[in-house]
Amino acid sequence: MKKYLMLLVMVPVLFLAAGNLAQAQRETTNTAPADGKGIQFFQGTWNEALAAAKKEKKLIFVDAYAVWCGPCKFMSNNVFPDAAVGEYFNKNFISYKFDMEKGEGPEFSNKYKVTAYPTLLFINSAGEVVYREMGARDAGGFIKLGESALAASKK
């Protein structure tokens, strides 16, 4: 009887946990916004992003995130899809989202010393960080962050 009671309690808990994980993964994907107005994130490998930055003479903006990170979800849902943010970042940067806990993420995290999420990196085509900030921003603050990164890269 105790086994059945435990099973009755655990099954709904497991379904809730699986649903929350799936939702978190959907909210932090490496894709462009559905309406095409926000940031268009680069689709390809890190080395391909570096090559694109060199070819286009742009910095790479990297959103170093984790799927469970609340501020990361805020940025993905509210800031990156913003039309003004998209216009500014698409014009000035190659943008790249990088999950720090999957695939090449842990290696990238070690190399670039990512210790908090989100870490917002601006990296030149040689792979050198020219500007770094941590934490979420609203759309206006995020555009100002991009302006600061561009100014720092010209020094």
Q: Looking at 39, 69, 120, 121, which residue is catalytic?
A: 69
Residue 121's CB is within 10 A of a number of other CB atoms, namely: 24
CA-to-CA separations, 86 to 13, 65, 74, 76, 140, in angstroms, rounded: 39, 19, 16, 12, 12
User: Do 92 and 58 meet the contact criterion of CB atoms below 8 Å apart?
Assistant: yes
Residue 36's CB is within 10 A of a number of other CB atoms, namely: 11
Residue 57 annotated as catalytic: no
Q: Looking at 53, 59, 72, 149, which residue is catalytic?
A: 72
Residue 69 annotated as catalytic: yes
Report angle CA 22, 28, 30 to the nearest 5 degrees.
115
Is-cis flag, bond preceding 118, omega within 30?
yes
Q: What is the separation of C-alpha 103 from the centre of its chain, rounded to a whole number of angstroms? A: 14
Which of the residues are catalytic? Answer: 69, 72
